[in-house]
């Protein structure tokens, strides 16, 4: 008798839970846009809090996350390989596009190092004259998008913001101007605020 009462009680709880879930589902369907807007507004006003919570979670669960990522990779390795094989042609096209955009950008900047005249394109780098390249990287302006920007920029804007240097000259300029130290200091100031 006791088992029957427990079963009936559990069944009633399951029915009530199902009704509540259905009510929540209907509410969500009718108020989907309002909920999305409210969530977006919350994320915008609490951005720093959310980022800090994420950072703390990743720090606390680092090993667990590493294991999950490794497990995901192992279980999806075959699918990833199939995808790469099926889209090999697309990768070749993207690589060629990237190479073409880079060569156009280097051509616009003179195809040789501004300081020493070195002209091997494998070692040429586009330098931000004011040392503010981190701002563009922050906006995810890199790779083909970056080269496209340079290829389409006006001559005045191009010469004012970018220059072409070889890897050695760029490293020397970065060290002499302490660009990395300035960038680190700006980041620390931004974090402190």
For the chain, domain boundaries: 88-192
- What would the 3-class secondary structure string for 122-166 be? HHEEEEECCCCHHHHHHCCCCCHHHHHHHHHCCHHHHHHHEEEEE
CA 161 to CA 159: how far, in whole Å? 6
pTM to 2 decimal places: 0.53
pLDDT at 11: 65
pLDDT tens digits along 11-26: 667 777 888 888 888 9
- What would the 3-class secondary structure string for 32-64 be? HHHHHHHHHHHHHHCHHHHHHHHHHHHHHCHHH
pLDDT at 182: 61
* Residue 112 predicted with pLDDT over 90: yes
Averaged confidence pLDDT in the chain: 83
* Residue 188 predicted with pLDDT over 70: no
Could you identify the residue written with the tokens 């060569």?
A: 103
The pLDDT of 88-108, averaged and rounded, is 89
The pLDDT of 97-118, averaged and rounded, is 90
User: Which tops the pLDDT comparison, 191 or 156?
Assistant: 156
């Amino acid at each position: 008798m006791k088992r029957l009462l427990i079963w009936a009680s559990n069944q009633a709880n399951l029915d009530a839970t199902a009704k509540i879930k259905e009510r929540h589902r209907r509410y969500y369907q009718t108020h989907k846009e309002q909920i999305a807007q409210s969530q977006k507004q919350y994320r915008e006003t609490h951005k720093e809090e959310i980022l800090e919570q994420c950072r703390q979670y990743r720090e606390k669960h680092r090993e667990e996350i590493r294991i999950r990522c490794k497990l995901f990779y192992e279980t999806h390795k075959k699918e990833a390989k199939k995808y790469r094989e099926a889209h090999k042609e697309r990768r070749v096209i993207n690589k060629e596009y990237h190479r073409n955009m880079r060569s156009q950008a280097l051509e616009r900047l003179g195809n040789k190092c501004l300081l020493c005249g070195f002209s091997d394109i494998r070692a040429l780098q586009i330098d931000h004259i004011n040392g503010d390249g981190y701002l563009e990287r922050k906006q995810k302006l890199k790779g083909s998008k970056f080269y496209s920007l340079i290829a389409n920029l006006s001559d005045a804007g191009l010469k004012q913001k970018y220059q072409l240097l070889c890897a050695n000259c760029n490293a020397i300029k970065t060290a002499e101007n302490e660009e990395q130290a300035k960038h680190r200091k700006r980041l620390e100031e931004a974090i402190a605020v």
